[in-house]
Amino acid sequence: MESDSIQIKSVEESKISKYIIEYTMKDWLNIIENDVVIVGAGPSGMAAAYYLAKAGLKTVVFERRLSFGGGIGGGAMLFHKIVIESPADEILREMGINLVKAEEGVYIVDTAEFMAKLASSAISAGAKIIHGITVDDVIFRENPLRVAGVAVEWTATQMAGLHVDPIFISAKAVVDATGHDAEVISVASRKIPDLGIVIPGERSAYSELAEKLTVENTGMVAPGLYAAGMAVTEVKNLPRMGPIFGAMVLSGKKVAEDIIRDLRNS
């Protein structure tokens, strides 16, 4: 089966395997210690990753699924448009995302473009995004009491229901950007009661109030542990807002600014 038209360099199977294992392990050895670990590659997590990496902080994002965007892809009831309100449009413009003006300060965005360019912006800024990994616990330290990293496991291992111990990843700051369930803060609240985290859960929809409150309440929930995006509404008993995503990227930006400030001061 020879063809003279296309010349593709041939690589042996064993060499392909060797390269994949070698270069994957190089990355894993590099991401064992970080400035910031972000859990979840949804809109808040990726916006946070973009600003943290842009500020020169070593940032890794662990995402359970094999995709980017979290709830963006589902839009509202699977419709492929979402609504963005000012001043979040400035963040999207910075990432080259097209906005269609519906009225003053209100813009419409395509979900596919939003997901792709958010991820591309975070990666180009220097953030590492690793798919197929579930964060199922945190690491903590005493004197002073603080969260110092996360425990990670293959999502596939969890889905198979196998008992496999995780590996540990250290970070100066951990961001829970897991969305409505605030999974990382929940586990820290349950397993480290001394942190004093109480999770009252989110409220029903009140869009006009929800976005402002979510952004304002974004930030540290315990030393070393931060909330962004819908995790904030869950932890602070705030109303949900429905399929408007401005607050998610503004929350990601705010958590990044808080962490940059806190790490500089520590």
Q: Per rule CB under 6 A, is residue 63 in the interface with ligand 48H?
A: yes
The pair of three-digit structure tokens given for residue 164, joined into one six-digit string? 């496999």
Cα 10 to Cα 1, 15, 73: the distances in Å are: 14, 10, 37
How many helices and strands (H and E) does the chain possess?
A: 9, 13
CB 228 within 8 A of CB 59: no
Q: Which is nearer to ligand 48H, 39 or 122 (CB)?
A: 39
Residue 158: enclosing H or E segment and its boundaries? helix 155-159
The pair of three-digit structure tokens given for residue 61, joined into one six-digit string? 């994002």
Q: Per rule CB under 6 A, is residue 70 in the interface with ligand 48H?
A: yes
Q: Which does 183 bind (CB under 5 to 8 A by kind): Fe ion, ligand 48H, none?
A: ligand 48H
Pick one of 36, 38, 39, 115: the residue that binds ligand 48H (CB under 6 A): 39
Q: Among the candidate windows 7-15, 21-29, 89-97, 229-237, which touches ligand 48H by CB under 6 A?
A: 229-237
Q: Per rule CB under 6 A, is residue 111 in the interface with ligand 48H?
A: no
CB 257 within 8 A of CB 220: no
Is 63 assigned a ligand-binding role in the annotation?
Answer: yes
Q: Per rule CB under 6 A, is residue 211 in the interface with ligand 48H?
A: no
End-to-end CA distance of the chain: give it in Å, rounded.
64
Is 44 assigned a ligand-binding role in the annotation?
Answer: yes
Pick one of 34, 37, 43, 189: the residue that binds ligand 48H (CB under 6 A): 43
Rounded least distance, CB 51 to ligand 48H, Å: 14
Q: Which does 43 bind (CB under 5 to 8 A by kind): Fe ion, ligand 48H, none?
A: ligand 48H
- Return phi, psi of residue 127, to 5°: -75, 145
Q: Which does 44 bind (CB under 5 to 8 A by kind): Fe ion, ligand 48H, none?
A: ligand 48H
Is 165 assigned a ligand-binding role in the annotation?
Answer: yes
Q: Per rule CB under 6 A, is residue 62 in the interface with ligand 48H?
A: yes
Per this entry, what is the length of the chain?
Answer: 266
Sites for Fe ion among residues 53-92 (CB under 5 A): 71
Three-class secondary structure assignment of 117-145:
HHHHHHHHHCCEEEECEEEEEEEEECCCC
Rounded least distance, CB 90 to ligand 48H, Å: 18
DSSP 201-252: --EEE-HHHHHHHHHHT-EEEETTEEE-THHHHHHHTPEE--SB-HHHHHHH
What span, in angstroms and rounded, lies between the C-alpha atoms of 2 and 167?
Answer: 47
Pick one of 54, 64, 146, 254: the residue that binds ligand 48H (CB under 6 A): 64
Q: Among the candidate windows 20-28, 50-58, 165-173, 236-244, which touches ligand 48H by CB under 6 A?
A: 236-244
Our measurement of the distance from residue 221's CA atom to the centroid of its chain's CA atoms, rounded to an integer in Å, reads 16
Binding residues for Fe ion, rule: CB under 5 A, are: 71
Binding residues for ligand 48H, rule: CB under 6 A, are: 39-45, 62-65, 70-71, 134-135, 177-180, 183, 205, 229-231, 240-242, 245, 248
Q: Which residues are annotated as a binding site for Fe cation?
A: 165, 180
Q: Which residues are annotated as a binding site?
A: 44, 63-64, 71, 135, 163-165, 180, 230, 240
